[in-house]
Amino acid sequence: MTSTARQPVGTERAPGSARCDEFSDLGLREDIHVSWRRSRLARAPTDKLEVPFDDIDDDDRRLLGAVGPVLARFAEHLAETHFSLVLADRNGRVVNTFSGADDMRRHLASLSIERGYVLSEAAAGTNGIGTVLEERRPMVVIGEEHYSEPLRHLICAGTPIRNPVTGRLEGVLDLACPRGEWSKLISPALEQLRHDVEGEMAARAPLAQRLIFEQFIARCRETSTAVIGLSDQYMITNAAATDLLAPADQAVIWSALSDDRAGGGVHAITLSSGRTIEVKSQVIRLGRAIGGHLVELAPQAPGNRSRASRRPGRRRPATTVGSILDNVVRADPQRLLILGERGSGKVTLAKQVHQRLNGDQPITLISCDLSLVGAGQLWLEEVATRLQRTEETIVLRHVDVLTAPVAQAVVALLDRGTTGPRVMATASDPLTDGRSGALHEALGEQTVQLPPLRDRRSELATLAAAMLDDIAPGVHVSGRALAALQSYGWPGNLTQLRSVLAQSAKAAGRDVIGLEHLPGEVAGALRGPRALSRIEELEREAIIAALREQRGNKLRAAEALGMSRSTFYRRLRQLGLDPSALLS
Q: For each of the chain's 584 residues, which pLDDT tens digit applies?
A: 333 343 433 334 333 334 456 777 778 888 899 899 899 888 899 998 888 998 888 888 888 888 888 998 888 888 878 889 999 999 899 999 988 788 888 888 889 899 999 999 999 999 999 999 998 899 999 999 999 999 999 999 999 998 877 677 889 999 998 988 877 778 888 988 988 888 888 777 667 677 777 788 888 888 888 888 877 666 778 878 877 777 667 667 776 776 666 666 777 777 766 678 888 888 877 666 677 888 888 876 555 543 444 333 333 444 578 888 989 999 999 999 999 888 889 999 999 999 999 888 899 999 998 888 776 788 999 899 888 887 889 999 998 888 888 888 998 898 876 678 899 999 987 776 555 678 888 887 888 999 888 888 777 888 888 898 889 888 888 777 887 888 788 888 999 999 999 999 888 876 788 878 888 878 877 654 445 556 766 777 788 888 878 877 888 888 888 888 878 877 876 676 766 555 54
CATH code of the domain covering residue 82: 3.30.450.40
Residues 184, 222 within the same domain: no
Give the end of a domain, one of 426, 450, 474. Answer: 450
Could you tell me the residue range of the domain that residue 485 belongs to?
456-582
Residue 4, in any domain of the structure: no
Tell me how far apart the terminal alpha carbons of the chain are, to the nearest angstrom: 45
Helix axes 460-471, 479-487, angle to 10 degrees: 110
Residues 113, 99 within the same domain: yes
Residue 316, in any domain of the structure: no
What Cα–Cα distance (Å) separates residue 503 from each residue in 6, 190, 340, 500?
A: 51, 42, 25, 5
Residues 352, 434 within the same domain: yes
Judge contact between 144 and 45, C-beta under 8 A: no
Judge contact between 174 and 108, C-beta under 8 A: no
Residue 428, in any domain of the structure: yes
Residue 527, in any domain of the structure: yes
Residues 483, 444 within the same domain: no
Give the end of a domain, one of 152, 178, 204. Answer: 204
CA distance 25 to 34: 14
Residues 261, 347 within the same domain: no
Number of C-beta neighbours around residue 581 at 10 A:
17
CA distance 321 to 454: 13
**What is the DSSP code (8-state) at residue 316?**
P
Give how many domains the chain has, as a whole number.
4
Number of C-beta neighbours around residue 303 at 10 A:
7
Helix axes 249-257, 479-487, angle to 10 degrees: 70
Residues 159, 42 within the same domain: yes
Residues 399, 526 within the same domain: no
Give the end of a domain, one of 435, 450, 465. Answer: 450
Residue 292, in any domain of the structure: yes
Residue 311, in any domain of the structure: no
Residue 313, in any domain of the structure: no
Residues 510, 575 within the same domain: yes
CA distance 32 to 130: 12
CA distance 473 to 91: 17
pTM for the full model? Answer: 0.45
Residue 22, in any domain of the structure: no
> What are residue 419's phi and psi, to 5 degrees?
-105, 155
* Nearest CA among 101, 110, 107, 183 for reference residue 140: 183
CATH code of the domain covering residue 224: 3.30.450
Strands (E), 345-438: 363-367, 393-397, 422-427
Residues 388, 476 within the same domain: no
* Nearest CA among 540, 455, 463 for reference residue 501: 463
Helix (H) or strand (E) run with residue 513 in it: strand 512-513
